[in-house]
Amino acid sequence: MDFLPIFLSIKEKSCVVIGGGDVATRKIASLLRAGGKVTVIAPQLSASNQKLADNGKIEHHAREYKDADLDNATLVIAATDDESTNAEIAKHAQEQGIPVNVIDNPENGSFIMPSIIDRSPVIAAVSTGGASPVLARLIRTRLESLIPAGYGRLAELCGLYRDNVKQLFSDPKDRRRFWDTILQGGVAERVFTGHMEEADAAMQKALETADPNPGMGEVYLVGGGPGDPDLLTFRALRCMQQADVVVYDRLVAKPVLDMTRCDAERIYVGKERDNHAMRQEEINKLLARLAKEGKRVVRLKGGDPFIFGRGGEEIDTLAEEGIPFQVIPGITAASGCASYSGIPLTHRDYAQSVTFVTGHLKDNSMNLNWQQLAQPHQTVVFYMGLKGLPVISRELQKHGRSPDTPAALVQQGTTHMQRVFTGTLETIVEIVEREQPKPPTLIIVGEVVELHDKLSWYKAPESSEQGATS
């Protein structure tokens, strides 16, 4: 983050705006809405600002700026049409430790003014760090439709009962769970439809019937997809936002992990070849223990939890111990990486079937059915096969697959680090030695790889044309 988002109380505080033209108008309006006492220093005012002065809403000094104008100021806006004057104001303000915003030159100031969605007491703010105020306003406009006015009334109702809930639930975790139910249930719906008396009655009933000791928690086995957070399902995101604890793998992309609730406890249990942060049996027991403590636990996995994700082993333990659980599927790496690489896994002219294979078994062997995998007119996708690629290449050729069979490596597919390397069974090992792709890298073998050059549509933002090799 380039800026720390904060909400500053300026009620009855002195706010100084230097400049009275149209560019200052929106800033002055925002300061007044937040309760600030606004003083404007400018030889002349725009028509709208002059009206505010005439009505006593702002104090106006019709002259040029002086350093003494910042004495006792809580906040400063530099909004003149002269860059050097604005820079001087900003320097003086920062020397005195006063927050200052510089119009059209945010880098010269200490804070920026975001676009605001006002549903008081609910306030949402959007900023692009000064890079594109127009984009910030566009995002705000879209959010306006997603945050109805009823959220302000709902916040006010919650404020009335906040102390009651705190007295009933001593544990913050239990309070959060109660509020989650209220804010997504009948009380909220009554508020949104304007039935405030019914909402109040429903709130009182919820408090009367609430169990301050909820007991057993629940485990959500969530597929985090191959890396792009936009590929998460709505249900996955909802569960991630409800979790008290997030137990996550090495293959979970950081942008996906960042979409979990910020105050949730995070426990890393990632496994690399011959380097396990926690053994699978220990992970199974950890999930059960956390749920028995009454916590809502998200077990977050890359891809889909039931495709080489050991999800079956984990819920087997949960079922044995009588712990409630849900499974939320995710887009598996084969599907996501192939799609983002422009490689259809099946195609009427190339492949009528697709097979997913793990590159190493539980004992790290590669005792696979090579005869079946070498059959023509099919696509074979190898997970976790980068280290064993020489064996894969050799065995497929040994069992009848042509050395000219197209093959592709997709490194960190669907993310900004995606790179695609294409070759053949005969050349793919040499490509790995030359390019040194990093895991996670998916291996796709079959004639469909020929379509990559024609159908490739996704360009990773930080990649370059050298990412594709043939």
Query: Which two structure tokens, joined as six digits, stand for 238?
Result: 């909802």
Establish whether 227 is an annotated binding residue. no
Establish whether 354 is an annotated binding residue. no
Question: Can you list the alpha helix ranges (DSSP code H) found in 123-210?
Answer: 133-146, 150-168, 172-183, 186-192, 196-209
User: In whole angstroms, what is the distance from residue 399 CA to residue 102 CA?
Assistant: 70
Establish whether 332 is an annotated binding residue. yes
| Catalytic residue (choose from 69, 249, 295, 301) | 249
Phi, psi for 69 (deg, rounded to 5): -65, -20
CA 419 to chain centroid, in Å, comes to 22
Establish whether 333 is an annotated binding residue. yes
Establish whether 307 is an annotated binding residue. yes
Catalytic site residue 71? no
Establish whether 302 is an annotated binding residue. yes
Establish whether 81 is an annotated binding residue. no
Neighbours of 271 (CB within 10 A): 16
Residue whose tokens read 């040499």: 430
Establish whether 139 is an annotated binding residue. no
Neighbours of 456 (CB within 10 A): 15
Establish whether 384 is an annotated binding residue. yes
Establish whether 226 is an annotated binding residue. yes
Query: Which two structure tokens, joined as six digits, stand for 181?
Result: 């139910």
Label residue 274 left, alpha or beta by phi (over 0 means left) and psi (-120 to 50 means alpha).
Answer: left
Cis peptide before 305 (omega within 30 of 0): no
> For residue 275, what are the contacts with CB-CB under 8 A and spacing of at least 6?
none
User: In whole angstroms, what is the distance from residue 350 CA to residue 250 CA?
Assistant: 34
Label residue 128 left, alpha or beta by phi (over 0 means left) and psi (-120 to 50 means alpha).
Answer: alpha
Neighbours of 386 (CB within 10 A): 20
Residue whose tokens read 């990632």: 270
Catalytic site residue 200? no
Establish whether 217 is an annotated binding residue. no
Establish whether 259 is an annotated binding residue. no
Residue whose tokens read 């030695």: 433
> Please, are residues 328 and 303 in contact by the beta-carbon 8 Å criterion?
no
Residue whose tokens read 């050395």: 403
Question: How many residues in the chain?
Answer: 470
Query: Which two structure tokens, joined as six digits, stand for 437?
Result: 């792709």
> For residue 185, what are the contacts with CB-CB under 8 A and spacing of at least 6?
none
Establish whether 304 is an annotated binding residue. yes
| Catalytic residue (choose from 13, 271, 285, 387) | 271
Query: Which two structure tokens, joined as six digits, stand for 128?
Result: 């692009």
| Listed residue (103, 144, 102, 137) closest to 123, CA to CA | 144
Name the binding residues for S-adenosyl-L-methionine.
Answer: 226, 302-304, 307, 332-333, 384, 413
Name the binding residues.
Answer: 22-23, 43-44, 226, 302-304, 307, 332-333, 384, 413
Name the binding residues for NAD(+).
Answer: 22-23, 43-44
Catalytic residues: 249, 271
